[in-house]
């Protein structure tokens, strides 16, 4: 005989999301990277004051802008909401320790995910206050720059630069933030 399945907790934001999704089609935001490119930031713009003496180039690390250009990221989220989006994705697509290691920033992966969720939620709250429509935030968990499915070494097809367990551990940080942010993202 199997044990009863524990009841899952349904947070108010999830209840609202399910209700609204039953009523109409929900609109997801567009490409964050394209909007960031429009900012035309140089290396200094990416670094900000906090990372002005960082030991390598960081231009192109769009996730870093969560910490160095938070107002710009919040404005992008808000622009998508004002254009009709019901849901925006956090600017955290490659905010894993694996992907951030290219910049020597693997230690800030958790902070990137947490602050990314906070910025998106702040924009959602502003948009909702303007027109009283519920807005939602989706945590973006993207690929890394390493793959477990093919070898990066053509002479050794069995070699893998990363294991599934390493990928799972790296993505669990972002997933944990997304799950936890549901608790405070009540529209």
pLDDT digit string (tens) for 13-22? 889 999 999 9
What mean pLDDT comes out for the span 167-186? 59
pTM here is: 0.83
Q: How confident is the model at residue 149 (pLDDT cuts 50, 70, 90)?
A: confident
pLDDT digit string (tens) for 114-144? 999 999 999 999 999 999 999 999 988 877 7
What mean pLDDT comes out for the span 6-18? 84
What is the spatial distance between Cα 146 and Cα 122, in angstroms, rounded to a whole number? 32
What mean pLDDT comes out for the span 157-183? 69
Tokens standing for 44?
């200094």
| pLDDT over 70 (residue 186) | no
């Amino acid at each position: 005989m199997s044990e009863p399945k524990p009841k899952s907790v349904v947070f108010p934001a999830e209840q609202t999301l399910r209700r609204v999704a039953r009523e109409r089609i929900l609109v997801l935001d567009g490409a964050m990277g394209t909007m960031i490119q429009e900012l035309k930031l140089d290396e200094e713009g990416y670094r900000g004051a906090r990372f002005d003496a960082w030991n390598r180039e960081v231009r192109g690390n769009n996730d870093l802008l969560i910490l160095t250009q938070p107002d710009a990221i919040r404005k992008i989220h808000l622009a998508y909401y004002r254009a009709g989006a019901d849901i925006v994705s956090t600017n955290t697509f490659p905010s894993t320790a694996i992907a951030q290691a290219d910049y020597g920033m693997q230690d800030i992966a958790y902070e990137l995910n947490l602050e990314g969720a906070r910025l998106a939620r702040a924009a959602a709250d502003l948009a909702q206050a303007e027109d009283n429509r519920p807005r939602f935030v989706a945590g973006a968990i993207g690929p890394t720059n390493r793959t477990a499915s093919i070898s990066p070494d053509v002479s050794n097809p069995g070699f893998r630069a990363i294991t599934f367990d390493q990928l799972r551990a790296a993505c669990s940080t972002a997933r944990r933030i997304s799950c936890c942010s549901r608790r405070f993202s009540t529209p």
